[in-house]
């Protein structure tokens, strides 16, 4: 069993993204989830999961209970250790420095040496309290599309109840937090309406971006999604109706994906190709790609070439259905009805509030 420390404010979305790197993901407390198995190299590329650890055990959010748990836990490791504690979202008020001292003391008593700079093993300790708001109708599925049960809290609480959790785990993988270096305004080519790199990474992951897979963004704009998909190893293909965008996306992709330095996520960067094209008439064979992501124009922000917005989205949904079995659509409204008319099944939907006048809808289609 593994512990996932989630980031951001939307745990349902974070846990869902984590299913691209883990199986059997269940939320156990605000900001925390557990999983049956984790692929560490994929976890390093997650946007909304900060860490994955091999779960030692979990108890209530109480330092004495955590101490007892660690004293009794089997540990088949050798070498130096460091304990790093977190009070998730400040929800418990527990002193993390006291937790680190106390639990470090337990490990010293068990024969380990402490090395805070370069430990052989890091013990993560996460305290979290609050309402576990896994909706009864929330459908979280794993990478194979199997429906996951709503999570149970430490004491077996059902959805919507208050939970109090302390989870202990040996750190296995940390996601690479370099998204700030790819802010849309810092890219070689910038246009208003570009997607934030964290959301771009998450939707790329949801569309199965990984080495050996090919991902298409048929309305690629500045190439924000393609850059993030390429950085986790997917081969990427983009089209945009505007010549200016296709040229700009090429500039961005060359800048981020054609480099000699090692890739930050540890997997080689994917190849890329971008051309000018109409998303409703893609120059691709049936089933040519593994996944599609598109960020539909918001009407007021993006120039819509030749189509009414409804026709553009309906046409793009039909074309993406022809070329792929999986798609993620991001938009300022839910396009669920036209997606189903185009033959897609709705695997999940999320609403992410960006600011007062913009909510982004994320539809995951199979
Ligand atoms: C919201 S933007 C995409 C932004 C992109 N995700 C980014 O990070 O830069 C939508 C894009 O759709 C493009 N577009 C509009 N009509 C299109 C069509 N018929 N075919 C392909 N692209 C189209 C626009 O030129 C625009 O770049």
* Beta carbon of 96 within 6 Å of any ligand 1 atom: no
* Residue range 4-14: mean pLDDT, rounded: 96
> 114-123, 137-146, 222-231: which range is least confident on average?
137-146
Give me the pLDDT at residue 137, please. Answer: 46
Segments making up each domain of the chain, as ranges: 2-174, 179-365
* Residue range 125-137: mean pLDDT, rounded: 82
pLDDT at 354 over 90: no
Give me the pLDDT at residue 156, please. Answer: 41
- Confidence label for 338 from pLDDT (cuts 50, 70 and 90): very high
Give me the pLDDT at residue 358, please. Answer: 83
Residue 73 alpha carbon to ligand 1 centre in Å: 53
* Beta carbon of 252 within 6 Å of any ligand 1 atom: no
For a mutational test of ligand 1's pocket, the pick from 185, 191, 219, i.e. the residue with the most ligand atoms closer than 8 A to its C-beta, is 219
Q: Locate the ligand 1 atom nearest the alpha carbon of residue 239 and give its number.
A: 21
* Beta carbon of 313 within 6 Å of any ligand 1 atom: no
pLDDT at 135 over 70: no
Q: Report the alpha-carbon distance of residue 310 to residue 294 in Å, rounded.
A: 14
Topology (CATH) of 179-365: Rossmann fold (3.40.50)
Q: Which structure tokens are listed for 156? A: 């077996």
* Residue range 106-123: mean pLDDT, rounded: 97
For a mutational test of ligand 1's pocket, the pick from 202, 224, 230, 241, i.e. the residue with the most ligand atoms closer than 8 A to its C-beta, is 241
pLDDT at 350 over 60: yes
pLDDT, greater one: 316 or 305: 316
Q: Which residues does 90 contact at the CB level (< 8 Å), separation at least 6?
A: none
pLDDT at 138 over 80: no
Residue 295 alpha carbon to ligand 1 centre in Å: 7
> 64-78, 129-143, 259-273: which range is least confident on average?
129-143
* Residue range 18-45: mean pLDDT, rounded: 97
Q: Locate the ligand 1 atom nearest the alpha carbon of residue 279 and give its number.
A: 20
* Beta carbon of 242 within 6 Å of any ligand 1 atom: yes
pLDDT at 61 over 60: yes
pLDDT at 319 over 90: yes
| Per-residue pLDDT reduced to its tens digit, 240-267 | 999 999 999 999 999 999 999 988 889 9
* Residue range 87-114: mean pLDDT, rounded: 97
Distances (CA, A) of 229 to 19, 119, 214, 267, 314: 16, 32, 9, 11, 24
> How high does pLDDT run on average in the chain?
92
Q: Report the alpha-carbon distance of residue 296 to residue 158 in Å, rounded.
A: 37
- Tokens 């109706």 locate to 241
* Beta carbon of 228 within 6 Å of any ligand 1 atom: no
- Residues 327 and 208 sit within 8 Å (Cβ to Cβ): no
* Beta carbon of 197 within 6 Å of any ligand 1 atom: no
Q: Which structure tokens are listed for 118? A: 């370069």
Residue 239 alpha carbon to ligand 1 centre in Å: 8
Do the domains at 2-174 and 179-365 have one common CATH topology? no
Say how far residue 35 (Cα) sits from the centre of its chain. Answer: 14
pLDDT at 155 over 70: no
Nearest-CA residue for atom 15 of ligand 1: 304
Residue 359 alpha carbon to ligand 1 centre in Å: 18
Nearest-CA residue for atom 5 of ligand 1: 221
- Residues 3 and 32 sit within 8 Å (Cβ to Cβ): yes
* Residue range 29-35: mean pLDDT, rounded: 98
> 47-51, 192-196, 202-206, 235-239: which range is least confident on average?
192-196
* Residue range 26-48: mean pLDDT, rounded: 97
What are the backbone angles phi and psi of residue 131, rounded to the nearest 5°?
A: -90, 125
Sheet with 32-35, strands from edge to edge, namely 26-29, 32-35, 2-6, 49-59, 162-174, 121-131, 80-87, 113-114
CATH architecture of structural domain 2-174: 2-Layer Sandwich (3.30)
- Confidence label for 148 from pLDDT (cuts 50, 70 and 90): very low
For a mutational test of ligand 1's pocket, the pick from 251, 302, 313, i.e. the residue with the most ligand atoms closer than 8 A to its C-beta, is 302
Give me the pLDDT at residue 307, please. Answer: 74
Round the CA-based radius of gyration of the chain to a whole number and report it: 22
Give me the pLDDT at residue 160, please. Answer: 79
* Beta carbon of 175 within 6 Å of any ligand 1 atom: no
* Beta carbon of 214 within 6 Å of any ligand 1 atom: no
Q: Give CA angle at 232 (229, 237), nearest 5°.
A: 30
Provide the pairing of β-strand 147-148 with 162-174: unpaired
pLDDT at 76 over 70: yes
Q: Report the alpha-carbon distance of residue 289 to residue 319 in Å, rounded.
A: 12
Residue 302 alpha carbon to ligand 1 centre in Å: 7
pLDDT at 175 over 90: yes
pLDDT above 70 covers a percentage of the chain that reads 91
* Residue range 281-287: mean pLDDT, rounded: 97
Q: With helix as H, strand as E and coil as C, how does the chain read?
A: CEEEEECCCCHHHHHHHHCCCEECCEEEECCEEEECEECHHHHCCCCCEEEEEEEEEEECCCHHHHHHHHHHCCCCCCCEEEEEEEEHHHCCCCCHHHHHHHHHHHHHHCCCEECCCCCCEEEEEEEEEEECCCCCCCCEECCCCCEECCCCCCCCCCCCCEEEEEEEEEEEEECCCCHHHHCHHHCCCCCCCCCCHHHHHHHHHHCCCCCCCEEEECCCCCCHHHHHHHHCCCEEEEEECCHHHHHHHHHHHHHHHCCCCCCCCCCCCCCEEEEECCCCCCCCCCCCCCEEEEECCCCCCCCCCCCCHHHHHHHHHHHHHHHCCCEEEEECCCCHHHHHHCCCCEEEEEEEEEECCEEEEEEEEC
What are the backbone angles phi and psi of residue 150, rounded to the nearest 5°?
A: -55, 145
* Beta carbon of 221 within 6 Å of any ligand 1 atom: yes
């Amino acid at each position: 069993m593994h512990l996932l420390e989630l980031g951001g404010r939307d745990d349902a979305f974070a846990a869902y993204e984590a299913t691209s790197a883990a199986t059997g993901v269940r939320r156990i407390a605000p900001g925390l989830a557990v999983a049956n198995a984790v692929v560490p190299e994929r976890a390093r590329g997650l946007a909304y999961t900060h860490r994955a650890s091999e779960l030692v055990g979990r108890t209530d959010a109480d330092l004495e209970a955590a101490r007892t748990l660690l004293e009794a836990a089997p540990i088949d490791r050798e070498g130096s250790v460091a304990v790093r504690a977190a009070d998730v979202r400040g929800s418990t008020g527990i002193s993390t420095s006291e937790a680190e001292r106390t639990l470090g003391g337990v490990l010293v008593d068990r024969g380990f040496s402490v090395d805070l700079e370069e430990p052989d093993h890091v013990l993560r300790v996460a305290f979290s309290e609050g309402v576990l708001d896994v909706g009864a109708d929330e459908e979280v599925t794993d990478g194979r599309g199997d429906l996951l049960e709503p999570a149970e809290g430490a004491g077996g609480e059902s959805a919507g109840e208050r939970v109090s959790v302390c989870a202990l785990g040996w750190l296995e993988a940390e996601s690479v937090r370099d998204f700030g270096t790819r802010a849309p305004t810092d890219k070689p080519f910038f246009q208003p309406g570009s997607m934030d790199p964290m959301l771009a990474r998450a939707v790329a992951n949801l569309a199965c971006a990984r080495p050996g897979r090919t991902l298409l963004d048929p309305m690629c704009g500045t190439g924000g999604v393609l850059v993030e998909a390429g950085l986790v190893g997917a081969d990427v293909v983009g089209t945009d109706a505007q010549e200016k965008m296709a040229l700009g996306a090429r500039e961005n992709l060359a800048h981020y994906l054609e480099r000699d330095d090692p890739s930050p996520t540890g997997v080689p960067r994917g190849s890329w190709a971008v051309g000018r094209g109409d998303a409703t008439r893609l120059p691709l064979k049936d089933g040519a790609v593994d996944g599609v992501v598109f960020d539909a124009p918001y009407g007021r922000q993006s120039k819509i070439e030749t189509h009414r917005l409804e026709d553009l989205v309906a046409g793009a949904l039909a074309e993406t259905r022809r070329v792929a079995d999986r798609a993620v659509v991001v938009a300022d409204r839910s396009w669920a009805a036209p997606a189903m008319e185009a033959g897609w099944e709705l695997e999940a939907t999320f609403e992410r509030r960006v600011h007062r006048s913009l909510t982004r809808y994320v539809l995951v289609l199979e």
